Amino acid sequence: MKLNELAPAIGSAPKKKRIARGPGSGKGKMAGRGIKGQKSRSGVAINAYEGGQMPLYQRLPKRGFNKPNRKEWAVVNLGQLQKFIDAGKLEAGDIDEDALVASGLVRRKLDGVRILAKGELTSKVALKVAGASRSAVDAVEKAGGSIETKTPQAATE
């Protein structure tokens, strides 16, 4: 047996239908595309069209609402803040949003920095940020520090 004599088992690999190769092929002349129109041309696909069947995007339920003017916060956890203070990247004391960006703790401010209570804070810090969770405010005050927020407390919850 030689490489050029290899062939698949009979019936295991049916011959490919050669479309638009004359009337004897069974798919000659218009190649099964009908007469004229967008779908008879090459390189055209009608997006999301499912042959008259209700398209998937219309069959699925629509839920919820995306607020167009929602705020996007840069989030900082108290544990991360403490880690940066311990590493010497942040000075314990007065910390504002610009200092958080400069230290690398926050990449960019977005609509403001928001402090969350995950983790432990042991340093006394005075934070000046856009918002904070109620539990984060309690944790900072427990450590002897303070948080000053730009927005009212109820609005940032």
Q: Does residue 73 have a pLDDT over 70? A: yes
* Six-digit token string for 143: 């450590």
Instruction: Return the higher-pLDDT residue of 155 and 63.
Output: 63
* Six-digit token string for 131: 């918002």
Q: Would you give the DSSP letter of residue 108?
A: -
* Six-digit token string for 118: 């995950």
Q: Does residue 153 have a pLDDT over 70? A: no
Q: Does residue 76 have a pLDDT over 90? A: yes
Q: Does residue 156 have a pLDDT over 90? A: no
CATH 3.100.10.10 at 74-156, yes or no: yes
Q: Does residue 157 have a pLDDT over 60? A: no
Q: Does residue 92 have a pLDDT over 70? A: yes
Going across the sheet that includes 113-116, the strands are 74-77, 113-116, 131-132
Q: Does residue 90 have a pLDDT over 70? A: yes
For residue 151, the model assigns a pLDDT of 67
* φ, ψ at 11 (rounded to 5°): 90, -10
Instruction: Return the higher-pLDDT residue of 63 and 154.
Output: 63
* 42/53 Cα distance (integer angstroms): 23
Closest to 84 measured CA to CA, from 65, 99, 66, 69:
99
* 92/145 Cα distance (integer angstroms): 10
Output the pTM of the full model.
0.56
